[in-house]
Amino acid sequence: MSISVIGLIKAAVLNGTPLLFGTSGEILTEKSGNLNLGVEGLMFMGGAFGLLGAFSYGQIAGENAVGSVAIAIAFLMAFLAGVAGSLIFSFLTITLRANQNVTGLALTIFGTGVGQFVGELMRLKVGGNVTISNALKDAFANGVLPMALQKIPLVGPILFSYNVFVYIGLVMVLAMTYFFRRTRTGLALKAVGESPATADAAGISVTKYRYLATVIGGGISAVGGMVYTMTIAGSVWNHSGLAGEGWVAVALVIFCLWKPINSLWGSVLFGGLLILYLRLPLSFIPTQIYKVVPYIVTALVLIIVSMRQRKEDQPPAALGVNYFREER
């Protein structure tokens, strides 16, 4: 029994990690007042380009491939793919003032297309399944901490047994929390998302903050797609593997009430819910109902938050609204 509980916790953390990246990136974006509904597309791009990076490196380096280098390349490729995608979004919505909802959805169509295209193209070029060597796969998926830590009973498997991305995500979220709570820039960014006109009057460049938050946030979200492809999907491009992951991340942003720190446990919870039907099948609950629980919970959170009207739980006041200085 205790083993299966530990197994469930481990699986929840592993499944939650792509969400952790996807969500915290989108939180950064939404805090600036930009609602980027292109996360699904960004994660597809991140997944495909991350795999492309690791795969190409593996082909070039051959026997001498080093795991950490492959991870760095995949990470960078995914991040840059996300930066490119969200740069399109930023340019259209911030500079060209296009509607955010529509632009985000167009980005999702474009990004999933690009992801699938890159994945399929790799498969056509290689003439079979695109994958990387087992040594590299292990570098992505195996625990990074010293064996001594991993072997501690109970605590070891639950806390210290994960792949490198879990810990990178943890550090990143803590840094983001510190950024929002303790730094001047973080405060300014929140001001831009709450009331761009006020921020503008205070001498904060709304344009610069929105661009940077959206682009960096998009990069982080895209890394989530790479983490999914390289760890959960086993470093193989799978046609529909990533489908829906980005939308769960968008839901999770709401569930976390736009606070990065909440995404730590929120992503584990949602990650767990997504795989619970495999681990804990109860005959009286159909598997499909398990799968919608994250969305139902999110909808309930959204309702409760709007009914209670507590200031600190609300979405950024300017979320989804473009800022036109001349219409102040």
| Alpha carbon distance 86, 44 (integer Å) | 13
Of 308-327, binders to other proteins (CB under 8 A) are 315, 319-320, 326
**Cβ pair 122, 130 in contact under 8 A:** yes
Residue nearer to other proteins on the CB measure, 45 or 78? 45
Radius of gyration of the chain (CA): 20
Binding other proteins (rule: CB under 8 A), the pick from 195, 247, 257, 261 is 247
Residue nearer to other proteins on the CB measure, 143 or 315? 315
Structure tokens given for 17: 């990690």
Binding other proteins (rule: CB under 8 A), the pick from 116, 195, 207, 238 is 116
**276-283 contact pairs (CB < 8 A, 24+):** 276/8, 279/4, 279/7, 279/8, 279/11, 280/8
Would you count residue 202 as binding other proteins (CB under 8 A)?
Answer: no
- What single DSSP character describes residue 146? -
Residue nearer to other proteins on the CB measure, 151 or 208? 208
Would you count residue 281 as binding other proteins (CB under 8 A)?
Answer: no
Smallest gap from Cβ 95 to other proteins, in A, equals: 8
Would you count residue 105 as binding other proteins (CB under 8 A)?
Answer: yes
Residue nearer to other proteins on the CB measure, 125 or 184? 125
Smallest gap from Cβ 80 to other proteins, in A, equals: 17
- What single DSSP character describes residue 325? G
Contacts of 84 (CB under 8 A, 6+ apart): 45
Would you count residue 51 as binding other proteins (CB under 8 A)?
Answer: no
Would you count residue 296 as binding other proteins (CB under 8 A)?
Answer: yes
Would you count residue 244 as binding other proteins (CB under 8 A)?
Answer: yes
**Cβ pair 220, 79 in contact under 8 A:** yes
Binding other proteins (rule: CB under 8 A), the pick from 80, 110, 170, 194 is 110
Tokens 């995500």: give the residue: 169
From the centroid of its chain, how far is CA 136? 22
- What single DSSP character describes residue 234? -
Would you count residue 37 as binding other proteins (CB under 8 A)?
Answer: yes
Q: How many CA atoms lie within 13 A of 136 on its CB side?
A: 26
How many other CB atoms sit within 10 Å of the CB of residue 260? 26
Would you count residue 98 as binding other proteins (CB under 8 A)?
Answer: yes
Binding other proteins (rule: CB under 8 A), the pick from 28, 73, 166, 251 is 251
Binding other proteins (rule: CB under 8 A), the pick from 306, 310, 317, 328 is 306
Binding other proteins (rule: CB under 8 A), the pick from 69, 121, 158, 236 is 121
| Alpha carbon distance 133, 315 (integer Å) | 44
Structure tokens given for 245: 């992951």
The contact set with other proteins (CB under 8 A) reads 35, 37, 41, 88, 91-92, 95-99, 101-103, 105-114, 116-117, 120-121, 124, 244, 247, 250-251, 254, 286-289, 291-292, 295-296, 298-299, 302-303, 306-307, 315, 319-320, 326
